[in-house]
Chains A and B, each alone.
Chain A
Amino acid sequence: MATRTVPLDIPTLRQQFPLLQQQVNGHPLVYLDSAATSQKPQRVIDAVNSFYRHDNANVHRGLYELSRRSTERFENARVVMARFLNADPREVIWVRGTTEGVNLVAGTWGIENIGRDDEIIVSVLEHHSNLVPWQILAQRVGARIRHIDIDDEGRYRLDQLADLLNPRTKLVALQHVSNALGTIHPIAEIAEIVHRAGALLFVDGAQGAAHVNVDVRALGCDFYALSGHKMCGPMGIGVLWGRLDLLEAMPPYHGGGEMIDRVEIEFSTWAKVPHKFEAGTPDAAAAVGLAAAAEFLEEIGFDALQAHEQEIVQYGLEKLREVPGLTLYGPSSPNERVAVFSFTLDRVHPHDVATVLDAEGIAVRAGHHCAQPLMRRLGVPATTRASFYLYNTPDEIDRLIDGLASARAIFGG
């Protein structure tokens, strides 16, 4: 069936984001920090609100009408996320975000399956959350962390991955889309390489799920973790997806209520997946909000979203390259990246760039983007990052360029 990509109607779309309708420091807000957290459409705010306003009760506990409704909304949200990922609902584990997803896999599957002198492969580009949990695991079990580099365009050096893989490699942990450089990585191709060597592939999908269509079957990975707040959903909720056979064989993560089958004083048996991994009262309202966000993105469609981002990427690359003294990192080819622009400006430190932009109502991130090894690899202490999303416009590239001119005027850059 042929699909037609209808261009996004950005003015109408923006109206659904109440936060964007404000002035900051006397200027219309230009929010360019969606890689840190996205803004929320009214329907997500409404979904969370209506859960508390009408249906709040503890899930999977009460026998009364309210609890039935809260449980139904919570479990329906899981079904929505399963559809969003092309997964089985039993494979959808609610977590607080990608970070907890990584820690869950490290603390359960990792502890059981990675031992002394085994190897975990990461990359120099990883976010600290896809690095530190593996370091902690490796220290605990005596395993080794190895890593691949990136090329000068911010792409994984897959030749190095092929060289590093060996029978001791148990896990490869990489990202789908880079928060720091915007690179979209070829996960399906990577999964094949990793599986040929007999290892598993964990994918940090914090940025991926927000920007590109995620079909975990087509990607062929073994675990995929995402954060709701990066994809128009609430903070504090995310999904860990794992292959059902892996999840079923894994020990529980946190102990507590909800994750048990039978509890004696000295031992217990566990609930089935996914509840085995969901101890304690979950943030059901946030899960409902995340499902509303997933439906919002499905309705927009990732083809339309990516077409819109490509327009911004092409215009952004063109305009940023014209700024004197500006060094832009990441892929030069638009179709290999999302609309995340990481750059340095000669003679102006990223913090100062961010402060000057803020005075003009432009919100960007300045710093190491939770990717200190990458900053060392690039040979810079920090970068400025302007990250665009579905509600941003090419006009906002112009506002950014004007703001950078102000920074250069102040600092003589």
Chain B
Amino acid sequence: MNVSEVNRETPPLNSLFQQLILEHYKTPRNRGALADADVRIEMRNPSCGDEVLLQLRFDGDQVADVAFEGVGCSISQASISMMTQLLRGKSKREALDIAERFTRMMHGDAEAARDKSLGDLRALAGVSKFPVRVKCALLGFNALEEAIRQHQG
């Protein structure tokens, strides 16, 4: 590593804006208010203004229901929408495990990108090649981790 070294390659756009991402962006799943939520976490990306309000209801250790509100770019909104699809019925440990594997995928781990249990989230694998957009994809997961931390008390 040399201080004057810099990566000058940007991959093609279609590796970022996949149809599945655009589809989640236009018709997000689990979007709205969750009246009986146990935890509500508001998280924002101060550098760009993306915001999410993640709401979770727990049944014991399990995620019973989930919903989100917020504003943001296609990547942040699609990522949150895809994440909420996976959470119902998962234990806190399993939910955190998804967050961890997704984070690894964002950091370029090709094995994580082949992990079928990540569901639609795998469409976001290309984001790892756009470093400035990785924090967009992680916003919802940061909120999820904080929500579980708070609920565990």
Contact = CB atoms under 8 A, between A and B. Distances in A.
Interface stretch (A6-14, A282-290, A347-355): A347-355
A351 B130 CA distance: 12
Given A351-B48, A410-B22, A356 B71 contact: no
B108 interface: no
Contact of A355 (B47, B71, B130): B130
B10 A358 contact: yes
Contact of B73 (A351, A358, A359): A351
B48 A356 contact: no
A357 B48 CA distance: 17
B133 A355 contact: yes
Interface stretch (A168-176, A320-328, A364-372): A364-372
Contacts of B13: 355-356, 359, 410
A382 interface: yes
Main secondary structure of the interface of B (DSSP, over half): mixed
Interface in B10-58: 10, 12-13, 16-17, 22, 25-26, 47-51
Nearest to A361: B10
Given A351-B73, A352-B73, A410-B17, A359 B10 contact: yes
Contact of A367 (B10, B26, B47): B47
A359 B22 contact: no
A269 interface: no
Given A410-B17, A411-B74, A367 B22 contact: no
Contact of A349 (B16, B47, B73, B130): B73
A345 B76 CA distance: 18
Contacts of B17: 352, 356, 410-411
B112 interface: no
Interface in B74-119: 74-75, 77
Contact of A381 (B10, B71, B136): B71
Interface residues of B, number: 22
A368 to B, nearest CB: 5
A350 B45 CA distance: 14
Contacts of A349: 72-74, 77
A187 B39 CA distance: 49
A372 B22 contact: no
A359 B49 contact: no
Nearest to A350: B73
Interface residues of A, number: 20
Would you call the interface of chain A mostly helix, strand, loop, or mixed?
Answer: helix
Nearest to B130: A355
A367 B49 contact: yes
A25 B49 contact: no
Nearest to B72: A349
Contacts of A57: none
Interface in A369-403: 372, 375, 381-382
Contacts of B16: 355
Contacts of A351: 48, 50, 72-75, 133, 136
A397 B71 CA distance: 29
A382 B48 CA distance: 7
A372 B44 CA distance: 13
A25 B10 contact: yes
Contacts of B133: 351, 355
Contacts of B74: 349, 351-352, 411
A381 B72 contact: yes
A410 B51 CA distance: 23
A101 B16 CA distance: 41
Nearest to A360: B13
B17 to A, nearest CB: 5
A375 B47 CA distance: 13
A188 to B, nearest CB: 34
Nearest to B132: A355
Nearest to A358: B10
Contacts of A381: 49-51, 71-72
Nearest to B47: A367
Contacts of B77: 349
14 contacts: A25-B10, A349-B72, A351-B72, A351-B133, A352-B17, A352-B73, A355-B130, A356-B17, A359-B13, A367-B48, A381-B71, A382-B48, A410-B17, A411-B74
Given A351-B136, A358-B10, A375-B49, 15 more contacts: A347-B26, A351-B48, A351-B75, A352-B73, A352-B74, A355-B16, A359-B10, A359-B12, A359-B13, A367-B47, A381-B49, A381-B50, A411-B22, A411-B74, A412-B26
In the A-B complex, the 10 residue pairs with the closest CB atoms = A351-B73, A349-B73, A382-B49, A381-B71, A367-B48, A381-B49, A368-B49, A359-B13, A25-B10, A352-B74
